[in-house]
Amino acid sequence: MNQHLRPEPVPFIDIAAQRRRLGKSIDEAVSRVLGHCQFINGPEVAQLEAQLAAFSGAKHVVTCASGTDALLMVLMAKGVGHGDAVLCPSFTFCATGEAVALTGATPVFVDVDEATFNIDANSLKRGIASAIKLGLKPRAVIPVDLFGQPADHDAIGAIAEAEGMFVLDDAAQAFGASYKGRRLGAFGLATATSFFPAKPLGGFGDGGAIFTDDAQLAETLRSIRVHGQGSDKYDNVRLGLTGRLDTMQAAILIEKLKIFEDEIAARNKVAERYARGLGNVVTVPRVGGGCTSVWAQYTIRLPKGCDRDGFATALQVQGVPTAIYYPKSMHQQTAYRDFPVADGGLPASETLSCDVISLPMHAYLDEPTQERVIKAVRGAISG
Ligand SMILES: *Cc1c(COP(=O)(O)O)cnc(C)c1O
Per-residue pLDDT reduced to its tens digit, 332-361: 999 999 999 999 999 999 999 999 999 999
The pLDDT score that the predictor gives to residue 228 is: 97
For the domain that residue 243 is a member of, what is the CATH number?
A: 3.40.640.10
Give, using CA atoms, the residue closest to atom 1 of ligand 1: 172
The pLDDT score that the predictor gives to residue 261 is: 97
68 pocket-lining for ligand 1 (C-beta < 6 Å): yes
The alpha carbon of 67 and the centre of ligand 1 are apart by a number of angstroms equal to 5
The alpha carbon of 151 and the centre of ligand 1 are apart by a number of angstroms equal to 16
The alpha carbon of 169 and the centre of ligand 1 are apart by a number of angstroms equal to 12
- Give how many domains the chain has, as a whole number: 2
Ligand 1: nearest atom to the Cα of 92: 13
What confidence tier does 234 reach under pLDDT thresholds 50, 70, 90? confident
94 CB contacts (<8 Å, ≥6 apart)? 330, 333, 335, 336
In the listed set 228, 258, 288, which residue is the last one of a domain according to the structure? 258
| Phi, psi for 179 (deg, rounded to 5) | -130, 120
194 pocket-lining for ligand 1 (C-beta < 6 Å): yes
DSSP string, 342-364: -TT--HHHHHHHHHEEEE---TT
Asked if 82 and 143 sit in the same domain, the reply is yes
In the listed set 258, 289, 313, which residue is the last one of a domain according to the structure? 258
Asked if 22 and 70 sit in the same domain, the reply is yes
| Strand duo 356-359 + 298-301: pairing | antiparallel
The pLDDT score that the predictor gives to residue 119 is: 98
Instruction: Check the CA dihedral 189-194-198-200 and report its sign.
Output: positive
In the listed set 258, 273, 302, which residue is the last one of a domain according to the structure? 258
Distance CA 198, CA 333 (A): 23
Other CB atoms within 10 Å distance of the CB of residue 176? 26
Rounded to 10 deg, the angle between the 15-36 and 43-56 helix axes is 140
* Residue 282 belongs to a domain: yes
* Residue 275 belongs to a domain: yes
Q: Kindly tell me if the per-residue pLDDT of 3 is higher than 60.
A: no
Express as a percent the part of the chain with pLDDT over 70: 98
Mean pLDDT of 135-155: 98
The pLDDT score that the predictor gives to residue 1 is: 45
Ligand 1: nearest atom to the Cα of 144: 13
CA 379 to chain centre: 31
Distance CA 99, CA 281 (A): 38
* Residue 188 belongs to a domain: yes
For the domain that residue 299 is a member of, what is the CATH number?
A: 3.90.1150.10
Asked if 229 and 271 sit in the same domain, the reply is no
The pLDDT score that the predictor gives to residue 318 is: 94
Asked if 196 and 310 sit in the same domain, the reply is no
| Phi, psi for 352 (deg, rounded to 5) | -60, -40
The pLDDT score that the predictor gives to residue 4 is: 58
Q: What 3-state DSSP class applies to 112?
A: strand
Mean pLDDT of 378-382: 93
Asked if 241 and 270 sit in the same domain, the reply is no
* Residue 197 belongs to a domain: yes
The model's pLDDT over 43-90, given as tens digits with 9 standing for 90+, comes to 999 999 999 999 999 999 999 999 999 999 999 999 999 999 999 999
What confidence tier does 7 reach under pLDDT thresholds 50, 70, 90? confident
* Residue 292 belongs to a domain: yes
Distance CA 120, CA 114 (A): 9
Asked if 268 and 136 sit in the same domain, the reply is no
66 pocket-lining for ligand 1 (C-beta < 6 Å): yes
Distance CA 201, CA 206 (A): 11
User: Which of 93, 168, 204, 299 most suits a substitution to test ligand 1, by most atoms within 8 Å of the C-beta?
Assistant: 93
Which range (256-260, 280-284, 303-307) has the least confidence? 303-307
Asked if 102 and 179 sit in the same domain, the reply is yes
173 pocket-lining for ligand 1 (C-beta < 6 Å): yes
Express as a percent the part of the chain with pLDDT over 90: 93
What confidence tier does 5 reach under pLDDT thresholds 50, 70, 90? low
Distance CA 282, CA 299 (A): 10
Mean pLDDT of 238-264: 98
Asked if 267 and 158 sit in the same domain, the reply is no
* Domain interval for residue 340: 260-382
Average pLDDT in the chain: 96
* Residue 78 belongs to a domain: yes
169 pocket-lining for ligand 1 (C-beta < 6 Å): no
* Residue 11 belongs to a domain: no
Ligand 1: nearest atom to the Cα of 99: 10
* Residue 100 belongs to a domain: yes
The alpha carbon of 24 and the centre of ligand 1 are apart by a number of angstroms equal to 29
Asked if 269 and 248 sit in the same domain, the reply is no
Asked if 268 and 230 sit in the same domain, the reply is no
Q: How many degrees, rounded to 5, is the angle at CA 212 between CA 144 and CA 177?
A: 45
Q: Kindly tell me if the per-residue pLDDT of 383 is higher than 80.
A: no
Asked if 157 and 294 sit in the same domain, the reply is no
Mean pLDDT of 185-204: 97
Asked if 180 and 297 sit in the same domain, the reply is no
The pLDDT score that the predictor gives to residue 382 is: 85
Distance CA 118, CA 141 (A): 13
